[in-house]
Amino acid sequence: MTNLVNTLGIMLYATLIYMTPLLYASLGSCFSEVSGVINIGIEGMMTAGAFTGTVVAYFTGNPWIGFLCGGLAGAFFGMLHAIATVNLGADQTIAGTAINMLGPGIVIMIAKVMFNSTDTIPLEASMKIPRLFRGVFDTSTVFGRFMDNVFANYAATYLVFIAALVVWFVFYKTRFGLRLRACGEHPQACETLGIDVLKMRFACVCISGFLSGLGGAFVTMAISNQFRPISIVGQGFIAIAAVIFGKFRPHGALLGCLLFGFCSGLKVVLGGSSGIDMQLISMIPYVVTVIVLVLFVGKSRVPSANGRPFVRAK
């Protein structure tokens, strides 16, 4: 029993740690995709955020300024993507691919110049994103340890759940959200009703960059304490997958990230104790995602105008 509770605690901890950056990026991806712009550049935006967040935190000593700047760096690349796809009508896949090369390319080059290495200098504990409720729980008892594992978590993890709630509210309970969804379904109709589709999409792609940047910054400022070129390896794409999994809805994306995080947690627990080959265990999150899709989720409807540049009729 003691063991079980312990294991469960570790697993939930791992779930939360894995899902937080994914959820930030997924929420970002929702904004972009639902407004009608495919954003495959999430990965590059996350890398930019990961680097900027760590560097700013390192020089200012303040994790929150770093975290915010990580978001802004992501938003900068989001803006590049927006200029290309929204204003210039570029092919969205091509532009996103470019962002995926430019983001890591530029920041790793800057790292090389600043630190004479592709890695940044590790952050001290005070510069990392703080953990809330640390020391509140009595870790000498089994229950206390469980609570410590699950609830004494990074502040940004609490924040991402609030963010998910806010995004859901914005999407479904505000005028902005209604317009945003309409832009992705039928931009021509929006335009006839006086909604500036280009402005809406521009804003949404920038927001998606901002949130992805936050996700990236979480990886290097909480999970790890330094930026390395392999800090962001595929999380951006997993985040996109989570959005498709969630049928392009923020609450669906939350479930997708939760499932993925949970399977990754399972991987951590099984990897330590069972005799199964680690490589096979590592497949679990990916295989389970596909199985769950086939069994329970099924077809995901892409917003009608997703991927199509909007050109204003004269």
Q: Is 104 an interacting residue with respect to other proteins (CB under 8 A)?
A: yes
Q: Is 219 an interacting residue with respect to other proteins (CB under 8 A)?
A: no
Cα-Cα-Cα-Cα dihedral sign, residues 116, 117, 123, 128: positive
In the bound complex, what is the minimum distance in angstroms from residue 80's beta carbon to other proteins? 8
Interatomic CA distance for residues 267 and 265, integer angstroms: 5
Letters for 128-167 (x = contact with other proteins by CB under 8 A, - = none) are ----------------------------------------
Interatomic CA distance for residues 44 and 56, integer angstroms: 18
Query: In the set 113, 125, 162, 193, which binds other proteins (CB under 8 A)?
Result: 113
Query: In the set 17, 37, 244, 270, which binds other proteins (CB under 8 A)?
Result: 244
Interatomic CA distance for residues 59 and 298, integer angstroms: 47
Interatomic CA distance for residues 62 and 54, integer angstroms: 10
Q: Is 26 an interacting residue with respect to other proteins (CB under 8 A)?
A: no
Region of 194 please: left (phi>0), alpha (psi -120 to 50) or beta.
left
Collapsing DSSP states into helix, strand and coil, what is residue 131? strand
Cβ 213 vs Cβ 45: under 8 Å: yes
In the bound complex, what is the minimum distance in angstroms from residue 301's beta carbon to other proteins? 9
Cα-Cα-Cα-Cα dihedral sign, residues 212, 217, 218, 220: positive
Q: Is 90 an interacting residue with respect to other proteins (CB under 8 A)?
A: yes
Q: Is 106 an interacting residue with respect to other proteins (CB under 8 A)?
A: yes
Tell me whether residue 166 or residue 290 sits nearer to other proteins (CB atom).
290
Tell me whether residue 9 or residue 236 sits nearer to other proteins (CB atom).
236
| Placement of tokens 């009508």 in the chain | 89
In the bound complex, what is the minimum distance in angstroms from residue 216's beta carbon to other proteins? 16
In the bound complex, what is the minimum distance in angstroms from residue 97's beta carbon to other proteins? 6
Region of 44 please: left (phi>0), alpha (psi -120 to 50) or beta.
alpha
Q: Is 112 an interacting residue with respect to other proteins (CB under 8 A)?
A: yes
Cβ 130 vs Cβ 218: under 8 Å: no
Interatomic CA distance for residues 190 and 236, integer angstroms: 30
Letters for 272-291 (x = contact with other proteins by CB under 8 A, - = none) are -----x-xx-xx--xx-xx-
Chain residues that interact with other proteins, rule: CB under 8 A: 40, 80, 83-85, 88-91, 93-95, 97-102, 104-106, 108-109, 112-113, 118, 230, 233-234, 237-238, 240-241, 244-245, 277, 279-280, 282-283, 286-287, 289-290, 293-294, 298-300, 302, 308-314
